[in-house]
Each structure stands twice: as structure tokens, then as C-alpha cells.
Amino acid sequence: MMYEISDLAEDGAAAGAGFWLHQAALAWRAALDVRLRPLGLTPTQFLLLSAAARLERTAGPATQQEVAEHAGADRMMTSKVLRALEVRGMLSRTAHERDARAVRVSLTLAGRDLAADAAAVAAEFDSAFFGPAAERLARELRSVAESRERSGPLTAEGALRTAPNG
């Protein structure tokens, strides 16, 4: 038997905002993937390329760690994705001038062009996908993310303290 998402949303966790946020994120990511594919990017590659571009525009070439943190991505995954983008000629990764453990990420002209093209595709897609609620939704989600950021990383211990009966 095939279930519709709406069939699962009657009670419990499926009735909460987290469930619907997750379902919307899955749908958004799948549809964004289709739109980025002609540019040769996955949503993860786009996320990291655009994070590197944003950081480079504001403060010069960032470290790989800074790109990962800015994007909210895992460091190991970031390293693998940036390496693949480097192989494609979208960026260069060079040893940090003062920290032997760090790697600087610099976009090439092709990488900056691709980041700009992909950002335009993503912005147009977001407007179409979220419709008139796009700006309000972005503000609300940013507020949630920033409040989570201010309260620090969620650890297992912290989750137990904030869980009901925890």
C-alpha cells in the first residue's frame, strides 16, 4: 500500500513543524537538484561553492573549515566536495600561509561565474517553489537557525535537558 504524506500527518511527530520542515526540505532539495543539474552541480556542491564565494567576496579567500562552518556542513564532506570542484577547475585549494593544518579556498573565474549562475537559478527556483511566502518563510527560518546558533551546539546531554520529561 502506498501512503500519501498527508495520510501520515494525523498525530504524533508527523503533526509537528519538524515533520513538515523535513518533508518540505526533501521536496525542495529534489526539485533544486533538477534545476542545478544542467549547470553540473548538486545542491551540496552549490551550497559549498556559494558559501566559498560569499566568504571570498566579503573577506577574501576563506579556509576550508570556514566554508564548512558558513554552510553548516560536515568538514570531511566539505573537503571531498571542494576537492571535486577543484578537479573541475572551479576553485583552488592551497596551504594556509600560517596554519599547516588549514587549506585556503579561492574560486577561479569559472567558479565565480558558476556560483553566480547557480545563485540566479536557485533564487528564481525559491520564488517559484515557495511563492509569495518566500521572504516571510526565509525570515522565520533564519530566526529559528540563529536562535539555535546562539544557544550553542545541541549535544546529547543538551537534548535530554530540553526534551519533555528530560
Domain-embedded: residue 47: yes
| Number of domains into which the chain is organized | 1
Domain-embedded: residue 153: no
Hey, is 41 helix, strand or coil?
Answer: coil
How confident is the model over 126-138, as pLDDT tens digits? 999 999 998 999 9
Contact between 114 and 41 (Cβ < 8 Å) = yes
Q: How many angstroms separate the CA atoms of 104 and 125, rounded?
A: 31
How confident is the model over 2-44, as pLDDT tens digits? 556 555 555 666 678 888 888 899 999 999 999 999 999 999 9
Domain-embedded: residue 2: no
Domain-embedded: residue 137: no
Domain that includes residue 97, residue range: 23-128
- Phi and psi at residue 20, in whole multiples of 5°? -70, -35
CATH of the domain at 113: 1.10.10.10
pTM: predicted TM-score of the whole model, two decimal places: 0.79
